[in-house]
């Protein structure tokens, strides 16, 4: 399952969707908005995406993980729009027969998602400023030029 949503992510529903009788391990990564970044107070994050391409890349990422590990189910859910401090921005989950594969696949999915999926993050700071953060800023420039 891959999804982009403007609503808060229902983490319980994501985990419930990963369960299966043959799975001995479920690994879930939850990325949340923290209250600081680079020594500055953060009020919220704001995410934008080129949605058709983002979903296509996310689905391809899901296929790659299924080919690489013996997984039963995968969930990749990313929130768009404004995400306040403490709320989930992304939930990645996998179920597998054993924990080793579940841990490895979950790590692979979040790392590659952050690198390859055209989703961009803008940090809103307490001092009223906003900044696009990290390598995401560069990828936004590149996608906009295409």
pLDDT in tens, 6-35: 999 999 999 999 999 999 999 999 999 999
Spell 72-90 as b/e; 16+ CB within 10 A means b: bbbbbbbbbeebeeeebbb
| Tokens read off for 43 | 């009020």
Task: Quote the pLDDT of residue 56.
Answer: 97
With beta carbons less than 8 A apart as the criterion, state whether 55 and 61 touch.
no
> How confident is the model at residue 61, as a pLDDT?
97
For position 119, what pLDDT does the model report?
A: 94
Over the stretch 45-98, which tens digit does the pLDDT of each residue have?
999 999 999 999 999 999 999 999 999 999 999 999 999 999 999 999 999 999
Q: Which domain holds residue 36?
A: 2-145
Q: At 110, which CATH number?
A: 3.90.1170.40
Side-chain half-sphere CA neighbours of 22 within 13 A: 6
Phi, psi of 92 (to 5 degrees): -120, 130
C-alpha span between 99 and 9 (Å, rounded): 24
Q: Return the pLDDT at 111.
A: 97
Q: State the alpha helices, DSSP H only, in the chain.
A: 11-18, 51-68, 99-116, 136-145
Q: CB neighbours (10 Å) of residue 41?
A: 11
Per-residue pLDDT at 133: 75
CB within 8 Å of 121: residues ≥ 6 apart: 45, 46, 47, 89, 132, 133, 134, 136
Question: Per-residue pLDDT for 139 more than 70?
Answer: no
All residues at 6 or more sequence positions from 39 whose CB lies less than 8 Å from its CB, including other chains? none
- Number of separate domains in the chain: 1
């Amino acid at each position: 399952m891959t999804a982009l949503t403007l609503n808060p992510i229902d983490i319980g529903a994501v985990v419930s969707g990963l369960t299966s009788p043959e799975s001995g391990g479920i690994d879930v990564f939850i990325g949340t908005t923290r209250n600081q970044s680079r020594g500055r107070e953060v009020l919220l994050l704001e995410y934008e995406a080129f949605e058709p391409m983002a979903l296509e890349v996310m689905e391809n990422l899901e296929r790659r993980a299924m080919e690489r590990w013996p997984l039963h189910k995968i969930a990749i859910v990313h929130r768009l729009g404004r995400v306040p401090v403490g709320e989930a921005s992304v939930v990645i989950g996998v179920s597998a027969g054993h924990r080793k594969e579940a841990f490895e696949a979950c790590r692979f999915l979040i790392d590659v998602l952050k690198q390859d999926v055209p989703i961009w993050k803008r940090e809103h700071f307490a001092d009223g400023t906003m900044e696009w953060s990290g390598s995401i800023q560069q990828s936004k420039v590149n996608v906009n030029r295409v």
